[in-house]
Amino acid sequence: MGIGIVGFRARAHRLVPVLRLISVLACGAVLVAGCATADAGRPAGDALTVGLAAPVSCLDPHQTPQTSNLHVSRQLVDSLTDQDPRTGEIVPWLATSWQVGEEAKRFTFTLRDGVTFSDGTPLDAAAVVANLDDIAKLGARSPLGAGYLAGYAGASALDAKTVEVRFDVPSGQFLQATSMVTLGMLSPGTLGKTPEQRCAGTLAGSGPFVLDRVALNEEVRLSARTGYAWASELATHRGAPRVRTLTFAIVTDPSVRHGSLLSGQLDADLQVLEQNQRSFGEQGPRLLSGTRPGIVFTLLPNETRPALHDLSVRRAIGAALDRSRFAPLLAAGERPATDVLATTTPGYADRSADLAYAPDEAVRLLDAAGWRRGPDGVRVKGSQRLSFELVYSANEPYGSVYQLMAQQLAEAGIELRPTPLDDATNSARQGAGDYDFVSWAVTRGDPTVLATVYPVRSANPQRRTKPDEVDSTIAEIATVLDPAERAEAVAAAAEAIISGGHGIPLFEQASSIGLAARVTGVRLDASGRPIFQDAEVRA
């Protein structure tokens, strides 16, 4: 790894004009980060400034599903449990112990003593009940929470320290869900506010940091909570944060973020692109990466489109992709998919045989279904062409992977047109179903995550209309608790998804975080979100 650094310096003399340009760009970043670093009076090593790749649009963890928002919210709220990113094991956090009733319909949590929200109110059983009721009441406003609380029948405080949560149907996923930031605890006072007020930042949690200032397109500034003493069991240092202020500077340009990290204006870059990872080594800034559990980055067909309604076409597209060739374009911790789930998800199994590159099989499937090569090499049947538009946000870093996929599919006579769109157009078109393909990944360390994308009653980007074995097999996963039985249920669901061509797994996504040399103690949680409670900045 040290060689990377040496190589970077050795090339530097040829890069002088470029470096000059970078310094100009970095100046732009200083303007953005300036508000945070201009505070001259503070002792060195007291503040941490991290670069966030996307603007913050809503800070209420109960509502927002977006990564950039949740990166901030995670520092503000605690959860009942935490999940060990290495083993997937659920460990105590706000709850010191719990019992799962038979059939996973009843959960009893015993809460830790002495926990308070930042507005002073105690975190007791009544507060936990109020939080769960709030998320259930948010309904569609909480796309992630709705899945975590599927079948929720209510919760009650058995005494001040004991909460009982009940479900109508078995909920094998709920215990893991309690570790997610979406089920983080907000003070009862906060829950009384409107969802819009909470989004804008009027919220108090029990987390290691409290919110100081939100400037939606500029920065979010947090300060350490004095007296914080209830970190999760995974933290090495359990007390109050050692940095006094934590600032999320919004720097959308990846090269500006990278330049600012190298020059020391940022202490961390929360999204390092693949092309910049060569400049990390043992000396200087370090790279912290973790494969994200959950649904891998997956190509999802709009099955209402006539050509994509054809199962042979969907399967041929999967067979015509050579995923092993994606590797050089992927970042640290990312790898070609070998299942519908990432390797770090409980229930994952190596299904690479079903996802192997099989160009002959693709040709056979298409020929058998009557798709013949047209004059331009693209297959046609009647008036239909195998030409598909893949819409994605221009801010997404995977444009080159899509272009490589387009090259590979062209070999089989399928035209893929990756179309980058601005965020507003992208979400409008995805909402209206105006696409042939979209690509999604959903992060969660539990196989029930499949229920957020594939069943008819879910986000359903495939626009499927009739429930079939995909729906029934995925529903089955939530009802079983025994690991072996779960693995079987996941296998059945994965089989139904892959053989039905409802999702074409591409690659496993990772969180890649660049850290300045002076920063230590930052860890990634099981969802790949950075935790700054432990962080330390050397002067």
Partner 1 sequence: MRRRLGVLPSALVLLAATAAALAPGLFSPADPLRGDLTERLLPPEAAHLFGTDELGRDVLARVVHGSAPSLQAAVIAVGIAVLAGSAIGLVAGTARGRLDDLVMRAVEVLLAVPSFLLILVVVAVLGPGTREVAFAVGVSAAAVFSRVVRAEVIRVRGSGYVEAAAVCGTGRATVLLTHVLPNAAGPVAALATLELGNAVLTVAAVSFLGFGAPPPAPEWGSLIAAGRPFLASAWWLTTVPGLVIVAVVLAVNHLGNVLRTRSETG
**Least distance to partner 1 from the beta carbon of 427, Å?**
16
Which tokens is 420 given? 């980058």
Query: What is the distance between the alpha carbons of residues 525 and 523, in angstroms, rounded to a whole number?
Result: 7
Q: Contact with partner 1 (CB under 8 A): which of 312, 400, 460, 520?
A: 400
Q: In the complex with partner 1, which residue's Cβ is closer, 49 or 271?
A: 271
The alpha carbons of the chain give a radius of gyration, in whole angstroms, of: 24
Q: Please report whether residue 514 would count as binding partner 1 according to CB under 8 A.
A: no
The reply on whether position 18 binds partner 1 by CB under 8 A is: yes
Q: Which of 244, 131, 215 is nearest to 177 (CA)?
A: 131
Q: Which stretch binds partner 1 (CB under 8 A): 58-66, 184-192, 273-281, 378-386?
A: 273-281
Q: By the 8 A CB rule, do 111 and 164 touch?
A: no
C-alpha–C-alpha distance, residues 365 and 368, integer Å: 5
Question: Rounded to the nearest whole angstrom, what is the least distance from the CB of residue 397 to partner 1 in the complex?
Answer: 8
Least Å distance between CB 19 and partner 1? 8
Residue 512: its H or E element: strand 510-515
Check residue 275 for interaction with partner 1 (CB under 8 A).
yes
Q: Does 281 bind partner 1 (CB under 8 A)?
A: no
Strand, coil or helix: what is 501?
Answer: coil
Is residue 313 within 8 Å of 386, Cβ to Cβ? Answer: yes
Q: Where are the beta strands (DSSP E) in 285-332?
A: 286-291, 294-301
Q: How many chain residues touch partner 1 (CB under 8 A)?
A: 34
* Residue placing its CB nearer to partner 1 in the complex, 19 or 169: 19
Q: Which is nearer to partner 1, 199 or 416 (CB)?
A: 416
The Cα 83–Cα 294 span in angstroms is 13
CB 34 within 8 A of CB 265: no
Of 197 and 324, CB closest to partner 1? 324
| CB of residue 1 to partner 1, shortest distance in Å | 16
x/- binding map, residues 294-333, to partner 1, per CB under 8 A?
-------------------------------x--xx----
Smallest gap, in angstroms, from Cβ of residue 502 to partner 1? 26
CA gap 41, 19 in Å, rounded: 31
Pairwise CA distance, residues 85 & 524, whole Å: 8
Q: Is 20 in the site for partner 1 (CB under 8 A)?
A: no
DSSP string, 428-494: HHHHHT--SEEEEEEE-SSGGGGGGTSSSSS--TT---S--HHHHHHHHHHH--SHHHHHHHHHHHH
Q: Which is nearer to partner 1, 4 or 65 (CB)?
A: 4
- Other CB atoms within 10 Å distance of the CB of residue 375: 6
φ, ψ at 127 (rounded to 5°): -65, -40
Write the single-letter amino acid at 474.
Answer: I
Q: Which residue has the tokens 């330049």?
A: 259
List the x/- string, 194-233, binding to partner 1 by CB under 8 A.
Answer: ----------------------------------------
Contact region with partner 1 (CB under 8 A), list: 163-171, 223-231, 232-240, 397-405: 397-405
Per-residue x/- marks for partner 1, 245-264, CB under 8 A? --------xxx--xx-----
**450 vs 502: CA distance, rounded Å:** 12
| 1/18 with CB nearer partner 1 | 18
Interaction between residue 278 and partner 1 (CB under 8 A): yes
Least separation in angstroms between CB 246 and partner 1? 26
Residues 6+ apart with CB under 8 A from 18: none
Closer by beta carbon to partner 1, 17 or else 120: 17
For residue 263, what is the enclosing H or E element? helix 254-263
**Binding residue (CB under 8 A) for partner 1 from 312, 419, 460, 520:** 419
CB of 51 to partner 1, least distance (A): 14
Which of 254, 188, 246, 178 is closest to 212 using CA atoms? 246
Q: What are phi and psi of 47, to 5 degrees?
A: -125, 150
Give 433's DSSP letter: T
Residue 14 vs 466, nearer CB to partner 1: 14
Q: What is the DSSP string of 387-419?
A: EEEEEEETT-TTHHHHHHHHHHHHHTT-EEEEE
- Closest CB 458 distance from partner 1, rounded Å: 29
Residues 6 or more apart in contact with residue 13 via CB below 8 angstroms: none
517 binds partner 1 (CB under 8 A): no
Choose the stretch contacting partner 1; rule: CB under 8 A; options: 77-85, 126-134, 393-401, 446-454.
393-401
Interface of this chain with partner 1, residues 25 to 64, rule: CB under 8 A: 25
394 lies in the site for partner 1, by CB under 8 A:
yes
Among 418, 447, 501, 514, binds partner 1 (CB under 8 A): 418
Q: Which stretch binds partner 1 (CB under 8 A): 47-55, 87-95, 414-422, 483-491?
A: 414-422
Instruction: Give which of 457, 427, 461, 429 is closest to 442, Cα–Cα.
Output: 461
27, 169, 273, 492: residue in contact with partner 1 (rule CB under 8 A): 273
Q: Does 279 bind partner 1 (CB under 8 A)?
A: yes
Binding-site ranges for partner 1 (CB under 8 A): 14-15, 17-18, 21-22, 25, 253-255, 258-259, 273, 275-276, 278-279, 325, 328-329, 394, 397, 399-400, 402-404, 406-407, 417-420, 422
